[in-house]
A and B are shown apart, each in its own frame.
Chain A
Amino acid sequence: MTPPDSNEPLPWFLKPRNVRRVLVGLFVTCSLFFGLDFLFALTGFDKHPYFQWEQWPGFHAVFGFVACVLLVLVSRFLLRPLVMRDEDYYEKTSSQTEDKTDV
């Protein structure tokens, strides 16, 4: 491993302007798919659902969003306080620090 060079160019993905572009792209795509679902509902497009609610516009979008927010909040505020212990809880040294690195 070598220390970072202060003059090295940032890769495309990490330039702040491009990060903003990626974020805007995500918001736009999300809106597009949300809109598309409403278009399907309005035109009566049959998605061959197994359950009635799958045909509701935005069902999968809302489900995905709510599921992930719940997942993170439950993990952070319920599970972590219950189960988190010190890194050396079981063993004094962790395996990562014992490895030799190959550079």
Chain B
Amino acid sequence: MSDALPPSLIYLLGALLVPFLRGRCRQVFALAVPVVAFINYYLITKGVHWRLELLDFELILGRSDAWSLIFLHIFTVLSFIGILFVVRENEPLDLSAGLLYAGSAMGVVMAGDLITLFFFWEMLTMGAVLCLLARKTPASGRAAMRYLLVHVFGGVVLLAGLVLHLAAGGSTAFDRIELEGIGPWLMLFGFGINCAWPLLGAWLTDTYPEASIGGVVFMATFTTKTAVYVLARTFPGEPALIWIGVAMATLPIFYAVIENDLRRVLAYSLVNQVGFMIVGVGLGTPLSLNGTAAHAYCHILYKALLFMSIGAVIYRTGKSKATELGGLCRSMPWTCLFCCIGAASISAFPLFSGFVSKSMIMSSAAAEGQVVVWLALLFASAGVFHHAGIKIPFFAFFSHDSGIRCKEAPLNQLLAMGLASVLCVFVGTFPNAFLYPMLPNLEAGYVPYTVGHVTDQLSLLLFSALAFTLLMLAGLYPAEIRSTNLDADWFYRKGGPAFHHLADKGLNALNAATSRFFLGKIVNGITNFFDSGIARLACLFMTPLWKLMGHDAAQIEQERHALFRRSKIGAFPVSITAFCAVILLGLLTAYYYVAGRW
């Protein structure tokens, strides 16, 4: 038994307590939670801890092995950096959302069974929605609703898959699952939604730019990376994942080149980087899986760093669009420096973190003889440098002078960015210090720094930079335009309202017509029939009789009036009743006679 506490418990308690604290006390407490969790991390021993019984199932809150520990490590580090970044505003919603989000993500990576996984998986969505609401603008509120709808759908798909998997005799073990039957396919699909697969992942680029400046740091860290972790656990070596990963790595960079909102550019490059990880999962070799874990670790650091640097710009200027920014290196030199470190890391410059992790995935693709995959990833590597490595710092901090003069980012934000920067450089320069020893398959081994690898990578990046420069000078680089670029989110952002409109106009019209028909016509008819129908029927038969009896028009009218009156009070003379009975008997006899003949 471990002396440690479940990390998710520490964070969830923290998230619950934050709103009850005030002032400096709240700030210190929020920062203390990740510190306590970091100490707690080193108390967690490998093995299976914290088992619970629920009905007939055993829930495992703590399966600690190399896979879960490396993710737990980076999640803990990042939660500290993220909280430090937002601690100055002392906004309880931001702090609580960050802690809840981190706790849920840790719950997922420490889960030892699929039921616990599902529980924390759903809580992740809550954390993200709070991060969106923390921006407190009408647009972020709407984005939060869209995020919630997409992820509730994903959660339901996952739940359906889980139930079918269990019903088909599958176990609740959170381990490799064979892709047989509809259950595992639905689970894969559910994971894919959180992982931002092509067409399923438009929620990411749609909503991330609407989050609060601190919230997006947590969002960029937890949701997609827990999905990568879960896929690496459940479907490693699944060939379809290779091609899904290739599509993720290549397609978004085209969008990133023409996107104006710099946080959306970062969201596209996030999908691009997760694509590399998914290729690593799909290849399923010890080296490629190591690459996935290492790349997730490095990616979380530099992506958070990039989002923080643009967040600091938004904090000071209120703007995040390339058309409105530029020349900020005058006012925010430190933020500019940290942004450039993040940019160098995501571009995988030697001595920066991306270099030591991305290359593992590319090497394993090459070692498996996957020529097309390797070429696509090389293209994606050049492309990510182009749009995230150059475009982000260039349009925010250099480029034309936007005329904005503001203060440098506040100290806590600089410290958070500085810490992330130091880690990016340290991990990139000394990968063997702590990153490589944490990897799941130590026997795979990897040496990133060879002469060939360094010169090849530098050639690739330098000539990408050359291409950018020449295109800029030639005026061929697409001008920044205030615009919206259509993506798969169109299907729910336009399709959703269209469906609503259709349902409103179509189904409501049907409803109204049905109401008119049944209430207006049928019910009225029946009421009328029982009110005066009998009397009318009787009149029909009686009028000829009265005429035969020699009544004149006035007398007939008098008889009719009497008949209706009797009908209202339900009192008919015996003669009329008997006459009707005779007619009825006659009709019945005629009917059976005819029916008998046929």
Chain A partners chain B: yes
The verdict on A50 contacting B452 (CB below 8 Å), with A1-B406, A80-B478, A96-B320 known, is no
Flag if B463 contacts A62 (CB, 8 Å): yes
Residue in A79, A88, A95 whose beta carbon sits within 8 Å of that of B254 in the complex: A79
Flag if A67 contacts B464 (CB, 8 Å): yes
Bound-state Cα–Cα, A83 to B484, Å: 8
Q: Inside 8 A of B142's CB, which chain A residues have their CB? A: 91
B455 at interface, CB cutoff 8 A: yes
Q: Inside 8 A of A37's CB, which chain B residues have their CB? A: 455, 459
B404 at interface, CB cutoff 8 A: yes
Residue in A27, A47, A71 whose beta carbon sits within 8 Å of that of B456 in the complex: A47
Flag if B460 contacts A64 (CB, 8 Å): yes
Task: Name A's interface SS.
Answer: helix
Task: Name B's interface SS.
Answer: helix
Flag if B487 contacts A83 (CB, 8 Å): yes
B432 at interface, CB cutoff 8 A: no
Q: Which of B6-14, B36-44, B55-63, B363-371 contacts A (4 or more CB under 8 A)?
A: B363-371
**Residue on A nearest B320 in the bound complex, by CB:** A96
Flag if A47 contacts B138 (CB, 8 Å): no
Flag if B467 contacts A65 (CB, 8 Å): yes
Please give the distance in Å from B129's CB to the nearest CB on chain A. Answer: 16
Q: Inside 8 A of A84's CB, which chain B residues have their CB? A: 258, 481, 483-486
Flag if A87 contacts B327 (CB, 8 Å): no
Flag if A11 contacts B366 (CB, 8 Å): no
Flag if B459 contacts A61 (CB, 8 Å): yes
Flag if A91 contacts B330 (CB, 8 Å): no
Please give the distance in Å from A98's CB to the nearest CB on chain B. Answer: 4
B187 at interface, CB cutoff 8 A: no
Q: Which of B17-25, B295-303, B377-385, B420-428 contacts A (4 or more CB under 8 A)?
A: B377-385
Residues of chain B at the chain A interface (Cβ within 8 Å): 135, 137-140, 142, 209-210, 253-255, 257-258, 261, 314-321, 324, 327, 329-330, 333, 363, 366-367, 371, 374, 378-379, 382-383, 386, 398, 401, 403-407, 450-453, 455-469, 471, 476-478, 481-487, 493-494
Known contacts A47-B455, A61-B462, A72-B386, then 6 further A-B pairs from the complex at CB < 8 Å, ordered by chain A residue = A54-B456, A60-B459, A72-B257, A72-B468, A85-B486, A101-B318
30 A–B pairs (Cβ distance < 8 Å), ordered by A:
A11-B329, A13-B398, A26-B462, A26-B465, A30-B462, A37-B459, A45-B451, A47-B451, A48-B450, A67-B379, A68-B383, A71-B379, A72-B257, A72-B468, A72-B478, A73-B476, A83-B485, A84-B486, A85-B483, A85-B484, A86-B483, A87-B482, A90-B493, A91-B142, A93-B139, A94-B139, A95-B140, A95-B209, A101-B318, A102-B315
